[in-house]
A = this chain, B = another copy of it.
């Protein structure tokens, strides 16, 4: 989003939008929840210009949403992981996914409670267990019968069922 601040607005929504309101930011965070952690994985999966990705990632790190740490397996590389504040964005992200699923792209992806397999309702709740699973207890996979649009390595990996926040291997 252009001009990232809304300082004249005295409202917690305006403050939230200053963090996640810019173009690409929420898609980056979606991928982060799906387990993407490397610069190049974000890049190939999102078709985002590297300059913008670089800018967004450092902005998110600065805002305390992501943490950048050295990759133990590859000298000179980094991993971007969600902080606690970043993980707290899951309900908002899920609500938007649900809205898009209802009104624009039906049945694109399924979220289930990992411990019992029940699909989450629109509220993000597990009806069987009567609770709201945290992201790390949610299993996700694309809806069956869906034709894949993307064929990059990250999209392929994300087509297998896996837990949110669990790092993907490419």
Contact = CB atoms under 8 A, between A and B. Distances in A.
A99 B20 CA distance: 11
A106 B108 CA distance: 35
Contacts of A148: 10
Contacts of A14: 27, 100
A115 interface: no
Contact of A88 (B26, B89, B92, B102): B102
Interface of A: 1-3, 6, 8-23, 26-27, 30, 46-47, 64, 85, 88-89, 91-105, 108-109, 122-123, 132, 148-150
A64 B14 CA distance: 23
Nearest to A147: B10
Given A88-B99, A96-B92, A150-B10, A104 B27 contact: no
Given A88-B99, A99-B88, A123-B132, A17 B21 contact: no
Given A17-B27, A21-B26, 8 more contacts: A1-B21, A12-B104, A15-B100, A15-B105, A16-B97, A88-B103, A91-B122, A95-B95
Contacts of A16: 96-97, 99-100, 103-104
A11 B26 contact: no
A6 B122 CA distance: 24
A100 B64 CA distance: 13
Interface-central residue, A85, A93, A95, A148, by most chain B CB under 10 Å: A95
A11 B23 contact: no
16 contacts: A2-B23, A6-B27, A8-B149, A8-B150, A11-B30, A11-B97, A11-B105, A12-B101, A13-B26, A13-B96, A15-B103, A15-B104, A19-B104, A88-B102, A91-B98, A92-B95
